[in-house]
Amino acid sequence: MTQIEFLNIVTPFKDKVFRLAKRLLVSTEEAEDATQEVLIKLWNNKAKIQEYKNVEAFSMTMTKNYCFDKLKSKQAQNLKIVHSNYEDKQTALQKQVELKDSVSWVERIIEDLPEQQRMIIQLRDIEEYDFDEIAKMLDMNNTAVRVSLSRARKTIREKLTNTHNYGIK
């Protein structure tokens, strides 16, 4: 496989790899390193790439595993999962403040979710993968992915509603 053929395969999803790494590792530098490591591993195994039915899903799984290893290592003890993808620049100042506050609450709520639910929220609602791809990446049953996503969304909705109604977490 030539370098151009490799790039044609990897280029369409390399940004998704970075976003997942950034979501898990928070630090842009750590996410860039993770993305580079995944791409290097793919390059080193380029002869086997064509054997995989879905290289993108395989890459996302590699990214997830690499990031989890990084988070478990001593050098990443202070990293945490956050959500910072939402920004609306065309609304009134008061509305912007309210939206930022809501996003902040959602971030906190997502941080408290079990690890599996956080991953499924990231892959489905942020990266927009379908259930079959998520099931393959996380080595889960398709129904289990749906149930976990439903529970995560329900938890987020309930806690956010309580926060807005009562002003407490």
CATH number, domain with residue 101 = 1.10.10.10
> How far is Cα 164 from Cα 83, in angstroms, rounded to an integer?
19
Is residue 122 pLDDT above 90, yes or no?
no
Whether the CB-CB separation of 13 and 59 falls below 8 Å is answered with: yes
Q: What's the CATH code of the domain at 24?
A: 1.10.1740.10
73, containing H or E segment: none
Residue-number span of the structural domain to which 152 is assigned: 93-166
The two tokens of residue 8 are: 């044609």
**Tens digits of residue pLDDT in 67-119:** 888 888 745 455 555 555 555 455 577 777 777 877 888 888 888 899 999 98
> What's the structural domain count of the chain?
2
65/98 same-domain check: no
**Whether this model's pTM surpasses 0.75:** no
Summarised one tens digit per residue, pLDDT across range 30-65 is: 899 999 999 888 888 877 777 777 888 888 988 999
